[in-house]
Amino acid sequence: MTERIRESLSATMDGEADELELERVLSKIGDDTELRRTWVRYHSIRSIASGQSVDEETFPDVSQRVREALAAEVRPAAAGSLQRVLKPLASFAVAASVAATVVIGGQQLAQINEGGEPREAVASAVVGVGSPVGLINSTGATPVRASYGNQAVPVLEPAARTAYRELARQRMHKYMQEHAEHAALNAPHGLIPFARVRQIEE
Amino acid sequence: MTGLICKGWTAVLFFCAVVAAVGSGQTMASECKMEGSDAMHWLAKMSRGSHRVDYHGVVTFQRGDDMQVMQISHAITNGSSTEQMTQLTGQGAQIVRQNHPLECVHPGHHLLRADGETSAGGCGITDHYRLQVDAGERIAGRKAMRIRVDPLDMYRYGYIMDLDKETGLLLKVQTIGRGNKVLERFQFASLSLGTNSKAAANPELVHKATHPVVTESSAVAVPASRWAIQWLPGGFTATDSQQGAHSRRTYTDGLAVFSVFLERLPKKIKAGEGVARHGGTTSYTRGMRLKGKPVLVTVIGEVPLNTARMVADSLSWTY
């Protein structure tokens, strides 16, 4: 691992990475074990320093946490500080396994229901497409598809996850104005969509 | 496919691709629900009112703790409108759209104005939202009607809209997410009908709002014909004809709008996904390989995360 990638990793963690640095981390993280280890080390140090157990996620990337939790259980109690960070994840694993069951159930449901759902027919009529891979029906409302199923939903290591979150934030700023130009013509409140743009550019 | 040429818009001729739906001649008016027809009438009045009334005022836009204040004006001369928004807080930018012909009606407004059945054979907005008219409160000194707009599926947000009783102008709109959470709120603080005699506050920067189809994305351009969205939530339609090389597509159901951006990457990227949110806006970015080529897909819009993810997931090369 070069000094350069180490710096990129550190910048990514602090939310200060520029586009090049993010890409560097994302293209290397897949096959660089040392990079991943460094990430875990940085992460636990920072978590302890800031007094938080795990960073709050709105994003449902459960499987990686489950794996981390299981790994923490098996590992001998050498790294006491690291364990303290990972401990809350163990209870998370139980909830996650329940969630996994629900997802499998949804997939079976989707196969049974294939083609027989009236609202899906409306949605598919737009472009005419294949079958869903998952259904979520948490509110009793019309079931919605959770994934279209062209691509496997990726499981990310924490480093890549943070890098991607940062990438999504940067893309939001980069594309918001162009999105607003079209929203302003097609949404009911006129030029107001431009108020969502952080920095208007000429 | 019907098209309408919006002439005289600045110096350039724009092809205003209006109504992407195919006029199939199906008549389904009798099957459209009657319960939302009163509300639908108000939405149509709102859409027309927002284009055909002269007004100016001050509006606020709130997302969480963040509040912006803006001056807004809209005036009609010789069959075309000129609108202006000047930020009184923050950056102090001014957005101007001049000489936009009144007959240039974009797909989002077409959906709002479709009373009863649409040319595509559906019932428009009422296929995807439950509409309900209530008595409204007073907003910016004007009497208002309230329309509750609840989504019928989980692919879109809900809205509470307050419209001016007299003109149909949208006085206030709250975007409602899961658990009745208000994601963002836009509202007039003061409103005057008629043209504005006062000049707007000194802007720091003036931006002329663009008009399709000429915008160029800053991303590496990917010809539009080479990629397609295989899945859209029901009721969403393309906002422009998307001819030529384009790396962006925008879709609307009349109330919500989202855009899809595709970037070809020069080298492989670790596959993954990330999300950023602000108020009612979701930005979902997905790195993946499409037929062996690394790409970055970003869906930005006022839709729930699941919708953005499904759309990104359905992207494919078409050649």
Which pair of tokens denotes residue B267?
A: 């080298």
What is the overall mean pLDDT for chain A?
60
Which pair of tokens denotes residue A141?
A: 């409302």
ipTM of predicted assembly, 2 dp: 0.87
pTM (2 d.p.): 0.70
Q: Kindly report, residue by residue over A89-104, the tens digit of the pLDDT.
A: 444 444 444 343 333 3
pLDDT at residue B2, rounded to an integer: 36
Which pair of tokens denotes residue A13?
A: 């963690």
pLDDT at residue A148, rounded to an integer: 57
Q: Which of A114-123, B42-51, B184-193, B232-241 has the lowest mean pLDDT?
A: A114-123
Which pair of tokens denotes residue B250?
A: 């925008």
pLDDT at residue A136, rounded to an integer: 39
Tell me whether B48 touches chain A (CB under 8 Å): no
Selecting from A126, A175, A202 the residue whose C-beta is nearest the C-beta of B207 gives A202
Q: How far is B221 from chain A (nearest CA, A)?
A: 14
CA of A22: which chain B residue's CA is closest?
Answer: B269
pLDDT at residue B139, rounded to an integer: 95
User: Do the beta carbons of residue B239 and residue B288 sit within 8 Å?
Assistant: no
Confidence tier at A110 by pLDDT (50, 70, 90): very low
Tell me whether A185 touches chain B (CB under 8 Å): yes
Calpha distance A8→B288 (Å, rounded)? 22
Top residue of B73, B94, B95, B307 to mutate, by most chain A CBs within 10 Å, is B95
pLDDT at residue B11, rounded to an integer: 29
Top residue of A182, A198, A202 to mutate, by most chain B CBs within 10 Å, is A182
pLDDT at residue B225, rounded to an integer: 60
DSSP per residue, chain A? --HHHHHHHHHHHTT---HHHHHHHHHHTTT-HHHHHHHHHHHHHHHHHTT-SS----S--HHHHHHHHHHHHHS-TT-HHHHHHHHHHHHHHHHHHHHHHHHHHHHHHHHHHTT--HHHHHHHHHH-----SEEE-SSSSS-EEEE--SSPPP---HHHHHHHHHHHHHHHHHHHHHHHHHHHHHSTTTTGGGGG-SS---
On the question of pLDDT at B25 being above 70, the answer is no
Q: Which of A170-174, B23-27, B225-229 has the lowest mean pLDDT?
A: B23-27
What is the overall mean pLDDT for chain B?
82
On the question of pLDDT at B79 being above 80, the answer is yes
If DSSP codes are grouped into helix, strand and coil, which group holds residue B268? coil
pLDDT at residue B67, rounded to an integer: 92
Q: Kindly report, residue by residue over B155-198, the tens digit of the pLDDT.
A: 999 999 999 999 999 999 999 998 899 999 999 999 999 887 66
Confidence tier at B240 by pLDDT (50, 70, 90): confident
Q: Kindly report, residue by residue over B301-313, the tens digit of the pLDDT.
A: 999 999 999 999 8
CA of A163: which chain B residue's CA is closest?
Answer: B274
On the question of pLDDT at B109 being above 70, the answer is yes
pLDDT cut 70: percent of chain A above it: 40
pLDDT at residue B269, rounded to an integer: 82
Q: With CA atoms as reference, report the closest residue to B71 among A68, A89, A4, A195.
A: A195
On the question of pLDDT at B298 being above 90, the answer is yes
Q: How far is A76 from chain B (nearest CA, A)?
A: 31
As a whole number of Å, the end-to-end CA separation of chain B is 23
Greatest mean pLDDT among A45-49, B3-7, B283-287 lies in B283-287
Which pair of tokens denotes residue A88?
A: 């809350």
User: Do the beta carbons of residue B121 and residue B26 sit within 8 Å?
Assistant: yes
If DSSP codes are grouped into helix, strand and coil, which group holds residue B115? coil
Confidence tier at A149 by pLDDT (50, 70, 90): low
pLDDT cut 90: percent of chain B above it: 51
Tell me whether B89 touches chain A (CB under 8 Å): no
Q: Kindly report, residue by residue over B250-276, the tens digit of the pLDDT.
A: 999 999 999 999 998 888 888 889 999
Give the contacts of B282 (CB within 8 A, at least 6 positions apart): B275, B276, B299, B300, B301, B302, B303, B304, B305, B308
Tell me whether A58 touches chain B (CB under 8 Å): yes
Q: Which of B246-250, B293-297, B299-303 has the lowest mean pLDDT?
A: B246-250
pLDDT at residue A196, rounded to an integer: 95
Q: With CA atoms as reference, report the closest residue to B284 among B307, B251, B254, B250.
A: B307
Q: Kindly report, residue by residue over B41-73, the tens digit of the pLDDT.
A: 999 999 998 888 999 999 999 998 899 999 999
pLDDT at residue A86, rounded to an integer: 47
pLDDT at residue B226, rounded to an integer: 78
Calpha distance B304→B142 (Å, rounded)? 32
pLDDT at residue B174, rounded to an integer: 97
pLDDT at residue A59, rounded to an integer: 32
Flag if A151 and B269 touch (Cβ within 8 Å).
Answer: no
As a whole number of Å, the end-to-end CA separation of chain A is 41
Cα B263–B265–B269 angle (5° rounding)?
Answer: 120
Kindly state the average pLDDT of the residues B106-119.
78
Residue indicated by tokens 């950023």: B276
pLDDT at residue B9, rounded to an integer: 41
Flag if B83 and A191 touch (Cβ within 8 Å).
Answer: yes
Kindly state the average pLDDT of the residues A142-171.
71
Backbone torsions φ then ψ of A174, nearest 5 degrees: -65, -40
User: Do the beta carbons of residue B145 and residue B162 sit within 8 Å?
Assistant: yes
Confidence tier at B236 by pLDDT (50, 70, 90): very high
pLDDT at residue B14, rounded to an integer: 40
On the question of pLDDT at A20 being above 80, the answer is no
User: Do the beta carbons of residue A189 and residue B109 sit within 8 Å?
Assistant: no
- What is the number of CB-based contacts under 8 A between chain A and chain B? 244
Selecting from A148, A168, A169 the residue whose C-beta is nearest the C-beta of B310 gives A148
Q: How far is A123 from chain B (nearest CA, A)?
A: 4
Higher pLDDT, B189 or A146: B189
**One-letter amino acid for residue B228 of the chain:** A
pLDDT at residue B188, rounded to an integer: 96
pLDDT at residue A191, rounded to an integer: 94
On the question of pLDDT at B17 being above 70, the answer is no
